[in-house]
Amino acid sequence: MARWVVLGSSSLAATTATSLADRDGAVLVVTDDEDRAEALAEAGIAVREADPTAPVALADLSDVAVVAAFDADAAVNEAVARRTRATYPTARLVAYAGDGPGGDRERLADLADRVIDRDRLTTDYLLERVGDDGLQTRQLYRVLRGIDRLAVLAHDNPDPDAIASAVALARLAGAVGCEATVCYYGEITHQENRAFVNLLEYDLRRLESEETLEDFDGIALVDHSRPGVNDQLPEDRAIDVVIDHHPPRLPVEAQFVDLRSDLGATSTLLVDYLEHAGLGFPTDVATGLLFGIRVDTDEFTRQASAADFEAAATLLPHADVGLLERVESPSVSGDTLALIADAIGNRRQEGSVLLSCVGRIGTRDALAQAADRLLTLEGVSITVVFGVSDGTIYVSARSRGTDVDLGETLRDAFSQIGNAGGHADMAGAQIRLGVLETVEDREESLFEIVEAMVTTRFMEALEARAEQTISGIYAPDLHEPDEYLVPAEERPPEDADSWDA
């Protein structure tokens, strides 16, 4: 029995046979080089001393899975390939293009499942390490080497994609002697996200709102791209590194910038950098990045690119899948269930658009979960769930099966009075209450005004975007002028680059 048959007298044949000998499955080498045959036999490898092109070379073998025609002469490999196809038509055939001229490589390619060309492999390797992608990695390393203490900042209330990307970038920084700390503002309240951080034992630093990271001499932003937008840094804070997959509305300034809005997750970018850096994939990093990709692409159903699938395939052998199952089955807090129940009970629907004001909220993450849950209702293609916390209106929106770009729609609706943005099918907004906080009547009155304002603005923006009439949800006397809501000096910046909640 020989599952692997290596034919030829090249150094490639000997090296391949030696490597395969450590794997499961019998290996047979066929060579007419007496000295090489003797050396391989002494190493415990089965050898048949014969001309690789002769009928006896492949005679009387069973269970052949792979045949490697690895002679130094391409013409010999072509002859071996022809005999292999006639003798073992179902075997996988790999052929070496040879050390020099001779034979017809196109004919060899027609016969073999794969042709190994050392010159091309060397060129591809150099292009991978020194080409465009490799150059980007070297540029990133050059910036990181110039920083002693780096703050890797995820966006506010970070999700798994932001957290995993930040952890991976911190590992890259550590490889070049840069001390990196993963930081975030806000809270990690989603039960899956808490389980994610705890089970993977990530070391994260939660920042207070007044901290400006002056004790670091470098800052990297991951999964968002501008200071002061979805983080609590001063807007004029100098940034050293930006890695993000969200489309920016304004130019992004940093020493190193990598923005790829055609990808479904920032984690996919970090897989690319780890590969080119040759650092491998530690289990905790691989598991985190895989989860980040899965969450941000909604299990590869939302804006997933070919690169996201390839990155996940690269990570899978190194990830702890059992741990991910534990992450994805955490206990749900009573507050989260209560908010989802409020969202269901307060829902108002017009056509396929469902909106729900849940009043005062304790956690932003529950809004996103409610928006996701409501999207499963029959006849619903867009959900908008919103509530109030700490003087801010938080909005979470989801869509499916529609041509409407939610990120742009929310920007149209709320960027003049707050921050808004996100993806085509997943977006969010934050709007300061402003003078509405001084409303002294019952709290229900505040929520009625908030509900009318958010609903009216969203529906008007949606109508403009979709070029269709959607109206008549609320009475016009509940509509409030913009200037009543937030004085100009209290308004947040007019754009938002990253919104996943």
Least confident of 49-58, 141-150, 196-205, 418-427: 418-427
Cα–Cα distance measured from residue 293 to residue 209, given in angstroms and rounded to the nearest whole number: 29
Helices (H) and strands (E) in the chain — how many of each? 17, 18
Reading across the β-sheet that carries 179-185, which strands appear in turn? 204-207, 179-185, 149-153, 218-222, 241-244, 256-259
Output 215-219 pairs: Cβ under 8 A, ≥24 positions apart.
Answer: 215/149, 216/149, 216/150, 216/151, 216/181, 217/147, 217/148, 217/149, 217/150, 218/144, 218/146, 218/147, 218/148, 218/149, 218/150, 218/151, 218/178, 219/150, 219/151, 219/153
Residue type, 113: D
Collect all residues with Cβ–Cβ distance below 8 Å to 306 and sequence separation of at least 6. Answer: none
Cα–Cα distance measured from residue 405 to residue 365, given in angstroms and rounded to the nearest whole number: 22
What phi and psi, each to the nearest 5 degrees, are found at residue 398? Answer: -140, 155
- pTM of the predicted model over 0.85: no
Reading the block at residue 444, the tokens are 């229900």
pLDDT of res. 24: 55
165 by DSSP, 3-state: which? helix
> Do residues 435 and 428 touch, judged by C-beta distance below 8 A?
no
pLDDT 10s digits, 441-455: 556 688 889 999 999
Identify the CA nearest to 326 among candidates 291, 281, 371: 291
pLDDT of res. 115: 85
Confidence of residue 364 (pLDDT cuts 50, 70, 90): confident
Confidence of residue 8 (pLDDT cuts 50, 70, 90): very high
Residue 482 has pLDDT above 70, yes or no: no
Regarding predicted confidence, which is higher, 295 or 495?
A: 295
Confidence of residue 106 (pLDDT cuts 50, 70, 90): confident
pLDDT of res. 468: 43
pLDDT, mean of residues 443-469: 83
Residue 149 has pLDDT above 50, yes or no: yes
Cα–Cα distance measured from residue 494 to residue 226, given in angstroms and rounded to the nearest whole number: 12
pLDDT, mean of residues 91-107: 77
Residue 178 has pLDDT above 90, yes or no: yes
Residue 197 has pLDDT above 50, yes or no: yes
> Do residues 467 and 404 touch, judged by C-beta distance below 8 A?
no
> Do residues 465 and 405 touch, judged by C-beta distance below 8 A?
yes
Residue 497 has pLDDT above 50, yes or no: no
Residue 486 has pLDDT above 50, yes or no: no
pLDDT 10s digits, 376-392: 898 999 999 999 988 89
> What residues does 184 pair with on adjacent strands?
206
> Do residues 359 and 388 touch, judged by C-beta distance below 8 A?
yes
Reading the block at residue 213, the tokens are 């990271």
Q: Across the chain, what does the average pLDDT equal?
A: 83
Cα–Cα distance measured from residue 63 to residue 437, given in angstroms and rounded to the nearest whole number: 78
Torsion of CA 129, 132, 138, 140, to 10 degrees: -140
* CA distance readout (Å), 239 to 134, 192, 222, 354: 22, 30, 11, 39
pLDDT of res. 331: 60
pLDDT of res. 434: 74
| DSSP one-letter code for 147 | -
Domains of the chain (ranges; CATH) run: 4-123 (3.40.50.720), 133-327 (3.90.1640.10), 334-490 (3.10.310.30)
Reading across the β-sheet that carries 114-116, which strands appear in turn? 46-49, 27-31, 4-7, 66-69, 92-96, 114-116
Residue type, 102: G
